[in-house]
Each structure stands twice: as C-alpha cells, then as structure tokens.
C-alpha cells in the first residue's frame, strides 16, 4: 500500500478524504457491488490478454 501511495504521489490524508467522499456518494451498500464489478472487469481483462498471448506462444513452438 505504501508503494502505491508513493507512486501516485498522494499522501494518506488525501486517500482517506477520497474514500470518505466515495462512501458519501455511493453509500455503504453500493461499494461492495462496485468492487465486485471492478473485480469482474479486471478478471475479464486478464483473460483477454491471456487469450491474445496463447496464439503467439503456439506459433513460436511450431517454428522451432
């Protein structure tokens, strides 16, 4: 977490403020739904990148 804060250039106080604003905007019940949707999106993205890499690896094996 500390590396993320340093990389983004945000101090912990700013991150806490952002989290409070998000909590106020969406409410406590909506946040788990948002995180679930975000997780599904990341999972789909990873699967799509794996599908793109698989044909390249197969073609490399055939050339050797």
> If the chain, 64 residues long, is cut into consecutive pieces of 10 residues, what is the mean pLDDT of each piece?
60 83 83 88 89 64 56
Measured at the CA of 15, the angle between CA 12 and CA 16, to 5 degrees, comes to 85
pTM value is 0.47
Which residues contact residue 34 at a Cβ distance below 8 angstroms, ignoring those fewer than 6 apart?
26
Cα–Cα dist 64/58, whole Å:
10
pLDDT for res 5: 53
Q: How far apart are CA 46 and CA 51, in angstroms?
A: 9
């Amino acid at each position: 977490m500390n590396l993320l804060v340093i990389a983004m250039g945000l101090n912990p106080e700013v991150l806490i403020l952002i989290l409070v604003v998000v909590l106020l905007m969406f409410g406590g019940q909506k946040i788990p739904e948002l995180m679930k949707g975000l997780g599904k999106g990341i999972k789909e993205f990873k699967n799509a990148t794996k599908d793109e890499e698989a044909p390249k690896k197969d073609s490399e094996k055939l050339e050797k």
